[in-house]
Structure 1
Amino acid sequence: MDTDGHRLRQLLITRQLDEQITARFPVGRRLKVLDVAVRDGHQALRLARAGHRVTGLESDQELADAVRRTLLEEPEGIRERTRVIHEDSRNTGAHFLPGSFDVVLCHTGPAPGDEPGPLLAGLGRVLAPGGLLSLVVPNTEAAAMRPGLAGDWAGALERLAPADRALRRDALAAGLAGMSTPLHRWYGVQVFTAPGTPLPGGEEGELLLAAEERAGRTDPYRAVAALLHLCAVRD
Structure 2
Amino acid sequence: MSNSWTSASGADLSAGYARHAGTLRGALRHALVARALRTHLPSWEQRVLDVGGGDGHQAVQLARAGHHVTVLDPDPAMLQRAQARVEAEPDHVRGRIRLVEGAGENAAQLVGSGFDLVCCHGVLMYLPNPDPFLHALAGVARDGGLLSVLTKNGQALAMRPGLEGRWADALAAMNTRREIGNLGVPTRADTVGDVERILGEADAATIAWYGVRVFTDHLGDTPVGEGFDQVLEAEWQAGARDPYRLVARHFHLISRRVGS
Q: TM-score, with normalisation over the residues of structure 2?
A: 0.80
Local SS of the residue matching 1:19: helix
Shift in CA distance, 220/68, structure 1 to aligned 2, threshold 3 Å: same
Provide the C-alpha distance between the structure 1 equivalents of 2:128 and 2:93, rounded to a whole number of angstroms.
35
Do the aligned residues in 2 keep the contact of 1:7 with 1:199 (CA within 8 Å)? no
Local SS of the residue matching 2:125: coil
Pairing 1:136–2:159 present? no
Pairing 1:162–2:186 present? no
Identity of aligned residues (%): 37
Q: Deviations over 1:117-165 (max 9, x none)?
A: 1111111011011111110010122111232244432121121243796
Gaps of 5+ in 1: none
Counterpart code for 2:241:
T
Partner of 2:80: 65
Shift in CA distance, 207/80, structure 1 to aligned 2, threshold 3 Å: closer
Where does 1:90-105 land on structure 2 (aligned, <5 Å)?
Answer: 90-98=105-113, 100-105=114-119
Q: TM-score, with normalisation over the residues of structure 1?
A: 0.88
Partner of 1:180: 203
Q: CA deviation at 1:112?
A: 6.2
Partner of 1:89: 104
Aligned pair partner of 2:225 in 201, 208, 211:
201
Q: CA deviation at 1:48?
A: 0.9
Where does 1:118-137 land on structure 2 (aligned, <5 Å)?
Answer: 118-137=132-151
Do the aligned residues in 1 keep the contact of 2:22 with 2:224 (CA within 8 Å)? no
Partner of 1:106: 120
Gaps of 5+ in 2: 1-17, 179-187
Provide the C-alpha distance between the structure 2 equivalents of 1:69 and 1:126, rounded to a whole number of angstroms.
27
Do the aligned residues in 1 keep the contact of 2:124 with 2:151 (CA within 8 Å)? yes
Partner of 2:255: 232
**How large is the RMSD of aligned CA atoms in angstroms?**
2.1
Local SS of the residue matching 2:88: coil
Q: CA deviation at 1:166?
A: 4.6
